[in-house]
A and B are shown apart, each in its own frame.
Chain A
């Protein structure tokens, strides 16, 4: 049988999916063991037991200086910034994206402007944000929002323009005003795409958040990683990176689930 026609069973597919993760783990264990054999005090590739002990301290014991349990206070701070920044970007994208896509006059006014904004590397404006908004929460939330909003606006505007013209005309023959058309037809039909755009922006949002926290913060997952980097504390950095990955993955799945619940009509025929 040809290779392209050989399909794994459910169990085999699951097994295959696990293989790369296991390989990576084995590679790490081998490298860690080799380094520890040379130098038992090596800090670069700590043995899993050392990492687990460190995670236990981070997740369960209050910090001696602040009294916070670091993992949870860092997570809460980062998630709050991320959620606020993404919420801002989503609201702006919904309003501006629909206006650009639906109203030709607004499109003529703003579509090139937003396209130009989207080309600015967000990290290049981080210094500007730090100068203008200070080193508090506003600059970090602002970077997440500014970094993700232009792409979401453009995505939604394209989506609105791609709606079948027949439906827009049909709504007008039913007596819809421009406003009613936006509210009852275009917004609900574009909403699933907005959730998809949000999911795709989760990765960039984490990037901007960690960059902002690395430069100016007093707590947060990105702040912690860059703080302990000075002590080569790989036993903290590695679990933090894994934790961030898990959070990002979980929020993506959560949004996908939300989309299926909210927009049953947009799902492919069962």
Chain B
């Protein structure tokens, strides 16, 4: 579980400002849902937390230390598409995370250590309901199963923060509900902070302990790219289940930050 602190964040590409004046604190163990219109910069914000994009101004602190400038095993990610490796079986997709950490030279485990890793991976795959397809290729799985595989893959390295970029956006409604329930269970079981981007408002409130709305507060009709989006609403979600928090979350009672 990690505390994320965002201070005076701006992100622009040339003259196009995407995010401006974003300042917020994400408490350890919370499940933050970020919503907003298409192109409002919510995915850019997530990629900054991930480390694959850098802020133009401002800084992001992870437990008080500056965020590393590249992705790492402390922050897991599940994307909407291209989430799993097509050339590895379901089991090997998950074993991979254990192999990278334990075998620097080959990135591959052998013998007893491999068996140990396979058992650990199989256990987590059983947990997400994929225990029966360990040897399948990812392209043989349905979209919902692929996303569950991506979750298992991200969780095996026990990230302190799990980032989700519209993880259920491409799924059928019934499957989507199952996947949401699974995410809630996994979040409740583990000591991790979750930040999820979605365009589905109902999903955001259903899953989130906190919902952030990204939008532009300043607009120039002639030059729409002049101003970026920021946090316009900061609301508590309907998710009241905070199993591992020693103290109540302070943000729930605070007024919205970042807006006018």
Contact in complex: A180, B100 (CB < 8 Å) = yes
Instruction: Determine, out of B80-88, B199-207, B237-245, the stretch whose residues face the partner at the interface.
Output: B80-88
Instruction: Determine, out of A63-71, A171-179, A229-237, the stretch whose residues face the partner at the interface.
Output: A171-179
Q: Is B137 interfacial (CB 8 A cutoff)?
A: yes
Contact in complex: B159, A176 (CB < 8 Å) = no
Contact in complex: A172, B86 (CB < 8 Å) = no
**Which residues of chain A have C-beta atoms less than 8 A from B159's C-beta?**
173
Interface string of B125-162 (1 = CB under 8 A from A): 00000000000011110000000000001100101000
Known: A180-B100, A264-B137. A174 touches B73 (CB 8 A): yes
Q: State which residues 73-125 of B face A: CB under 8 Å.
A: 73, 75-77, 79, 81-83, 85-88, 96-97, 99-101, 104-108
Q: Is B52 interfacial (CB 8 A cutoff)?
A: yes
Q: Is B39 interfacial (CB 8 A cutoff)?
A: no
Q: Is B66 interfacial (CB 8 A cutoff)?
A: no
List the count of A-B residue pairs having beta carbons below 8 Å apart: 82
Known: A172-B71, A172-B72, A269-B139. A189 touches B86 (CB 8 A): yes
Known: A173-B50, A183-B106, A266-B87. A166 touches B79 (CB 8 A): yes
Known: A169-B52, A174-B153, A183-B107. A189 touches B71 (CB 8 A): no
Contact in complex: A170, B77 (CB < 8 Å) = yes
B104 CB → nearest A CB, Å: 7
Contact in complex: A188, B82 (CB < 8 Å) = no
Q: Taking CB as reference atom, which chain B residue is nearest A164?
A: B82
How far, in whole Å, are A183 and B88 apart by their CA atoms in the complex?
Answer: 13
How far, in whole Å, are A164 and B150 apart by their CA atoms in the complex?
Answer: 15
Contact in complex: B73, A173 (CB < 8 Å) = yes
Interface size for B (C-beta < 8 A) is 35
Q: Is B70 interfacial (CB 8 A cutoff)?
A: yes
**Which residues of chain A have C-beta atoms less than 8 A from B83's C-beta?**
166, 170
Our pick among A167, A172, A175 for the contact of B85 (Cβ within 8 Å) is A167
Q: Taking CB as reference atom, which chain B residue is nearest A184?
A: B107
Contact in complex: B86, A170 (CB < 8 Å) = no
Contact in complex: A173, B71 (CB < 8 Å) = yes
Q: Is A254 interfacial (CB 8 A cutoff)?
A: no
How far, in whole Å, are A176 and B101 apart by their CA atoms in the complex?
Answer: 7
**Can you list the 9 inter-chain pairs with the closest CB atoms, starting with the nearest?**
A180-B107, A164-B82, A175-B73, A172-B71, A166-B82, A174-B97, A175-B100, A184-B107, A166-B79
Q: List 17 A-B contacts (CB under 8 A).
A: A164-B82, A166-B81, A166-B83, A167-B82, A169-B52, A170-B82, A170-B85, A173-B76, A174-B96, A175-B72, A176-B100, A184-B99, A264-B137, A265-B138, A265-B139, A266-B87, A269-B139
